[in-house]
Structure 1
Amino acid sequence: MSHLETRQLRYFVAVAEEEHFGRAAARLGMAQPPLSRAIRELERQLGVQLLVRTTRQVSLTPAGRTLLEDARVALDAVAAAGNRARRVGTGRPALRLALKADYDAGLLPGILDAYDALPVELVLGGYLEQIVALREGRADVALVATTFDGRGLDSEPLITGPRVVALAASDPLAARTSLRLSDLAGRLLPNGMPAEQWFSGTTGGQYRPLDLSQIFNLIEVGSAVWFLPAWLAERTPRPGIAYRPLEGAEPVTLSVVWPAASRSTAVAAFVRVAQEAARNAGFPAVVAGTSL
């Protein structure tokens, strides 16, 4: 059997994730017939059926699910290898830290003051883009304040705190001292997703690239509500916004995350400094130690 090509894996991942050849072809910027032929050739090459095709969509066979998992890892590794090589080729050693602006719980200044192994370059991005940056080799380490797919990654929790809901101060619900998720039925999040779906495991698609000021503007005029860590609410008081505890919501954990394959002493030093910064900031202890 001949070796698989990254092109074949990209095509297969697109079809598997879109569950539709037409949408996958549009995502890849190609016509549908050559994409269909490429997938049939991939199945012939492997000697197994990867997809079950119907007139409306496609679904994965057990072999297809296995290939999808491994293909994602392989494509991430190829992208990361190229990005790391380009970075090394610049001749400017640095630690690249991925984070979402304002989600550092105030720890970042203390971390940067104490960390002296390498210059730190910030890689700012939106919701869960930090995980993509790690997998693609565009970042060495990340601060992530959410649950995430830990495939191929190691992490250490830094702080854990409650989650609150932000809504317009003029909203009748703002008169309550706390809220339940059911109270928010019919309200929308800044990405247009129904608020009651947030904790159901339904993603509602990709987040629009909104910064905090845009999100707060939507909330102030009553167009959206938003769930956020209490530590972020405490740092961003606004007269037009009310923050209320959300009963039954899982707490938020800020973690430091890095590739599991990393053997970088600079990354290990950053993890230790981040943990020390969290302890010095007086946040509740979560898990001590590091696996590096």
Structure 2
Amino acid sequence: MELETRELRYFVAVAEELHFGRAAHRLGIAQPPLSRAIRLIERRIGVTLLERTSREVSLTPAGEVLLTEARAALNTVAAAVRHTQRAAEATPRLVLALKPGGDSDLLRPLLKGYAATAGAVRVDLVFSTGERAAMVRDGRADLALLHRPQNDLSGLDSEDLHTEEQVVVLPQGHPLATRTTVAMADLRGEPQPRWPEARPGVTGHPVTDTDQLLQLIQLGRMVAVLPGSVRDRLPPGTVSRPIEDAGPVTLVIAWRRASTSRQVAGFVRAATSATHAPHQGCAS
């Protein structure tokens, strides 16, 4: 039994909001037809997707599966449209999504290396703190610089570019600043940032860029675990200390798993070559 993209959008809205009124407002439709549409979907596929009570709406196990699959399907449709539109452009180009200050100072050599390759096209940069992976999935970007394990790489292929240890950045007068190393347990209870791309359940003070975060640390409002390369641009009044048990963070170049773009493949090859990363396979 096939479902229309409109029906998938309706279901995703309800599944994400877990509230029919909010989902209807998000979709720009009235609540009664939305409720009818969800009931029709359940009848057509023969399973219960949502548990409804007078107080709450929750997903069934089947609903959880459909939410994952529906998101992927809608992203694929959106990507197909955007890639088709891009194919009609007179000048070919690639769109690279990245986080401000999140390139470990590798962006310049990466772009220079790609520009020197045969068949290189224009590369447009799009900056985002919370939607880089989503932009690649739905076709708004061809590639993204992401961090593992912090970012969700589901539905994407990736190549490692640079791995570094993590440090904690502290206000200069913080008690932990007197130590030579810090453990993650030492940071328990400390106010920490929450990025827009944070996984569900992560709490903390919302931040949108590294400069904002460093200023908050400078003011003594929080501490933060960051890649070690941040040490080269710490403002006065802040210090960094190695974290003995935080594990490394890896900068990766990521692209849609279904991509067959030669330009994307060329960029990935140039990126891994320019950053001297181990080769692990590339877009075809």
Query: Same fold, TM exceeding 0.5?
Result: yes
- Residue 49 of structure 1 corresponds to which residue in structure 2? 48
In structure 2, C-alpha distance between the alignment counterparts of 1:175 and 1:201, rounded to whole Å: 33
Q: Is the 8 A contact 1:20 1:56 kept in 2?
A: no
Per the TM alignment, residue 30 of structure 1 is displaced from its structure 2 partner at its CA by 4.3
Aligned to 2:189, which of 186, 189, 205? 186
State yes or no: 1:267 paired with 2:270.
no
For 1:34, the aligned partner's letter is P
Per the TM alignment, residue 31 of structure 1 is displaced from its structure 2 partner at its CA by 4.3
- Residue 226 of structure 2 corresponds to which residue in structure 1? 228
The normalised TM-score by structure 1 is 0.85
Inter-CA distance 11–236: structure 2 relative to 1 (3 Å threshold) = same
Inter-CA distance 15–204: structure 2 relative to 1 (3 Å threshold) = farther
The answer to which of 233-242 and 259-268 deviates more is 233-242
Structure 1 stretches of 5 or more lacking a match?
Answer: 280-284
- Residue 173 of structure 1 corresponds to which residue in structure 2? 176
Deviations 1:193-232 (A, max 9, x none): 9xxxx8x973339x8462222111111111122111002x
- Residue 109 of structure 2 corresponds to which residue in structure 1? 110
Inter-CA distance 175–22: structure 2 relative to 1 (3 Å threshold) = farther
3-state SS in 2 of match to 1:35: helix
Q: Is the 8 A contact 2:193 2:207 kept in 1?
A: no
In structure 2, C-alpha distance between the alignment counterparts of 1:54 and 1:22, rounded to whole Å: 14
In structure 1, C-alpha distance between the alignment counterparts of 2:170 and 2:186, rounded to whole Å: 12
State yes or no: 1:34 paired with 2:33.
yes
3-state SS in 1 of match to 2:170: strand
Structure 2 stretches of 5 or more lacking a match?
Answer: none
- Residue 253 of structure 1 corresponds to which residue in structure 2? 250
- Residue 282 of structure 1 corresponds to which residue in structure 2? none
Give the 5 Å matches for 1:147-166.
147=149, 148-166=151-169
For 2:225, the aligned partner's letter is F
Deviations 1:128-149 (A, max 9, x none): x211110111111111123333
State yes or no: 1:138 paired with 2:132.
no
3-state SS in 2 of match to 1:244: strand
For 1:175, the aligned partner's letter is T
Per the TM alignment, residue 46 of structure 1 is displaced from its structure 2 partner at its CA by 1.9
RMSD, aligned CA: 2.5
3-state SS in 2 of match to 1:242: strand
Per the TM alignment, residue 124 of structure 1 is displaced from its structure 2 partner at its CA by 1.0
Aligned to 2:281, which of 277, 286, 290? 290
Give the 5 Å matches for 1:82-101.
82-101=81-100
**Sequence identity percentage:** 49
Per the TM alignment, residue 71 of structure 1 is displaced from its structure 2 partner at its CA by 0.5
- Residue 238 of structure 1 corresponds to which residue in structure 2? 235
The normalised TM-score by structure 2 is 0.87
Q: Is the 8 A contact 2:93 2:122 kept in 1?
A: yes
- Runs of 4+ in structure 1 deviating by more than 6 angstroms, as ranges, are none
Inter-CA distance 212–132: structure 2 relative to 1 (3 Å threshold) = same
Inter-CA distance 183–254: structure 2 relative to 1 (3 Å threshold) = same
Query: How many residues matched?
Result: 277
For 1:262, the aligned partner's letter is S
Deviations 1:36-77 (A, max 9, x none): 222112112222211122333333223222211210111101
Q: Is the 8 A contact 1:271 1:290 kept in 2?
A: no
